Structure 1
Amino acid sequence: MILGHASAIDRFLGAWASGAMHHAWLLTGPRGIGKASFARAAATRMLAEAAGPLIVGAGIETPENHPTAHLINAGSHPDYRFLERILNKTGTALQRNISVDQVRALGDLFSVTPAMSDWRAVVIDSADDLDRSGANALLKMLEEPPAKCVFLLVSHVPGRLLPTIRSRCTTLDFQPLGDDVMASILAEQGQDSTKIPALIQRAGGSPGTALSYAALDLAPLHDQALAIMRAGDPFNERRARLAQSLSLKASADRYAAFLQIVPTMIADEAKILDGPARLRALDAYRRARDTCQLAPRLSFDPGATIFQLGTILASVAPEGASV
């Protein structure tokens, strides 16, 4: 169930019901708040209603026993495509980007008549992961869109997309979720009720982040990063210890998750600061965001990357505290 995004649901379903459906939607907002889940649900609902039988009830969800939902869940719907990063040739990790070949393969979808209805849908999670050639190939499709096809592009950092892609999309902005909604989602996911308040406090309105905290034991890393940000690190001990703990191959998942939470941590800290302290935090947020975006794409050394992030975190510390 999609919780906490009623305005986005109403806007999308209103456009669909009006018969004036825009061909491309850009779903923006922080990572882990449900944009990809919304995109899949929206595409499923649209294709289900186009093919029938009609769905009774409000909301964007499609009953699991609906033929369209069954086919999409099985990965076999002929009029639906989901693009994401795939495994590399060795099968040991995900590729850095969504490739141009993946985008061009959408031509197979558009070269034949739709099978289930006269509509088709494409979800890209995330558009931020497109390589340059892939982004240009997608742009051509958005400039001359196939008839009755809807593109749903998930983006965590829309400012990094080609301006020409953004200009051809209708934007749906997703906000962090409130504590009540977060609690409902985490309880539904089977989290220990005694630990939910702490998860909510650390997750910044992102259920995905909260679940990562729980699954990967990120709380100690969060506390170490917070200590650096608030007290500095005059002898490099804290950042060195943090870098060492995340530089091993066995720590790859925790390293990737840590890269996702650091910018949000700094942004949350900026909200409670003012004056020069807030300016330092905002500058640190910009630098941390850029580092965390580039590091996995360019395969930066994890230890060096974490040490650099530690330096950025320490720059937020009160004046007089040595970084």
Structure 2
Amino acid sequence: MSAADDVDGSWPLPRANPDLLGQEQAEANLAAVYAAGRPAHAWLFSGPKGIGKATLAFRLVRWLFRHGTSARVGEPSAAAADLFGDAPPPPSVSPSLFVDPGDPVFRRVASGGHADLFTLEPGIDPKRGTPRTEISVAEVRAAGAFLAATAAEGGWRAVIVDPAEAMNRNAANALLKTLEEPPHGTVLILVSHAPGMLPATVRSRCRTVTLAPLSTETIAALLPRYRPETTADEAAVLARLARGSIGHALRLASSEGERLRGQLTRLFRALPAVEPLAVLDLGEVAKGQGSGEGGFALLADLLRAWLASIVRVAGGAPPQEALASEAETIGRLAAAGGLERWLQVWENSTRLLARAETANMDLKQILLAVFLNVEAALKR
């Protein structure tokens, strides 16, 4: 979860988050790599959005800053030197990369004030005040120059790119030079929700760590920690809707998420009648201030959950557990349309939503097209 994804401040940004739940295996694997003396100069942390990739990236960087000076960062030893090896590792590590939040290194990284850390994010357009979508070639070149300089604190220098797919083509090409000739004692971490969008030449020069979606149990346990007002029952429902992402669950639990869920539920309850203005208003809420693309992605996931449950019931299975409270509405719609029609609705709708999320299209019109598609299936 990058800075732009922090919905309301209830969830700590990755650079300031001391916790990493549900990704203990990935963390232990990283610790083992450094313990074995074979660190990578470039990592690619991949997996769905909101599962802890950026948090793990900052966790690794903090650990290197805190413990990496126990090994010199000059020429690599024979044991450490391979395609990915740069600096010798510390003599020993634990399965955890934890650094105490009270440690000065933690505080400097959290505040953005550590002299040996450079973070590349799309950020906010200073002129428009809206989220940017790209990382430019100039920014990537600045990161390369940063890595080539001498470490201010005599240890590691680090660059985190989040998300890496935000680099435009020229920026990705500029990154290749750094990947091909990495300075000693440096680490470059690419955080990617969609690694397939990165050039193969970039992916091939990184060591990949694939993070798995979080379990519903982990998400249900995390939600009350950051939203104490969330009841156990609410946390269980949101965890099932979240598709393995704590970031997604927190958006669902936000006031905006509650509004989206409520309006979408009312639209489905009103079917087969479709009120176009109500659908367009729902799209406007999803695009509202503070939500941007994330708001539409949230709405699209909720819509998919509804349609998937209707298809399941039409095929003789129970609805998704997260929508069990709407079993009556789902059952009525499933019976009215039949399995074949709902499968067509599912196929057409998911294709439309995917296009809306990957292309510059009018999201409200896409949403209206989905509901008109549903209406047509029910009125045949």
- Does 2:95 align with 1:38? no
Show the counterpart of 1:27: 45
On the 8 A contact 2:287/2:296 being kept in 1, the answer is no
- Does 2:63 align with 1:5? no
Q: How far off is 1:96 after superposition?
A: 2.4
On the 8 A contact 1:245/1:251 being kept in 2, the answer is no
On the 8 A contact 1:51/1:116 being kept in 2, the answer is no
Deviates more, 1:18-27 or 1:138-147: 138-147
Show the counterpart of 1:123: 160
Unmatched tracts of structure 2, length 5 or more:
1-18, 72-89, 316-338
Deviates more, 1:241-250 or 1:202-211: 241-250
| CA distance 1:95–1:314, shift in 2 (3 Å) | same
- Does 2:240 align with 1:186? no
Show the counterpart of 2:330: none
On the 8 A contact 1:199/1:214 being kept in 2, the answer is yes
Separation in 2, partners of 1:313, 1:172: 39
Quick one: which amino acid aligns to residue 138 of structure 2? D
On the 8 A contact 2:147/2:158 being kept in 1, the answer is no
- Does 2:243 align with 1:204? yes
Quick one: which amino acid aligns to residue 237 of structure 1? E
Q: How far off is 1:124 after superposition?
A: 0.9
Q: How far off is 1:9 after superposition?
A: 0.7
Show the counterpart of 2:321: none
Structure 2 SS opposite 1:46: helix
Structure 2 SS opposite 1:97: coil
Show the counterpart of 1:307: 365
Of residues 260, 272, 279, the one that matches 2:297 is: 260
On the 8 A contact 1:50/1:117 being kept in 2, the answer is no
Separation in 1, partners of 2:138, 2:118: 14
**RMSD value over aligned CA atoms?**
3.4
Separation in 1, partners of 2:358, 2:44: 19
Size of the alignment, in residue pairs?
313
On the 8 A contact 1:246/1:254 being kept in 2, the answer is no
Separation in 1, partners of 2:355, 2:195: 13
Structure 2 SS opposite 1:217: helix
On the 8 A contact 1:199/1:213 being kept in 2, the answer is yes
Separation in 2, partners of 1:171, 1:227: 43
| TM-score, structure 1 normalization | 0.81
Larger radius of gyration: 2
- Note the 1:92-241 alignment, pairs <5 A: 92-194=129-231, 195-222=234-261, 224-225=263-264, 237=275, 240-241=277-278
Separation in 2, partners of 1:284, 1:38: 35
Q: How far off is 1:198 after superposition?
A: 3.0
| CA distance 1:23–1:197, shift in 2 (3 Å) | same
Residues 24-71 of structure 1, C-alpha deviation per residue, up to 9 Å, x if partnerless? Answer: 222222211111111111111122210359898642221123332232
Deviates more, 1:216-225 or 1:20-29: 216-225
Of residues 285, 289, 296, the one that matches 2:354 is: 289
Quick one: which amino acid aligns to residue 96 of structure 2? G
Residues 201-242 of structure 1, C-alpha deviation per residue, up to 9 Å, x if partnerless? Answer: 3222211112112224323424555787x799776525x423
On the 8 A contact 1:231/1:321 being kept in 2, the answer is no
Structure 1 SS opposite 2:288: helix
Separation in 2, partners of 1:227, 1:242: 10
Separation in 1, partners of 2:256, 2:199: 36
| CA distance 1:322–1:306, shift in 2 (3 Å) | farther
Unmatched tracts of structure 1, length 5 or more:
none
On the 8 A contact 2:148/2:183 being kept in 1, the answer is no
Quick one: which amino acid aligns to residue 260 of structure 2? L
Residues 110-168 of structure 1, C-alpha deviation per residue, up to 9 Å, x if partnerless? Answer: 23212324422111111121122212211222222222322111111222221221222
Quick one: which amino acid aligns to residue 239 of structure 2? I
Give aligned-pair identity as a percent: 27
Q: How far off is 1:318 after superposition?
A: 10
Separation in 2, partners of 1:16, 1:7: 15
| CA distance 1:111–1:133, shift in 2 (3 Å) | same
Quick one: which amino acid aligns to residue 219 of structure 1? E
Residues 167-216 of structure 1, C-alpha deviation per residue, up to 9 Å, x if partnerless? Answer: 22222222221122112211211332323233223222211112112224
Structure 1 SS opposite 2:378: coil
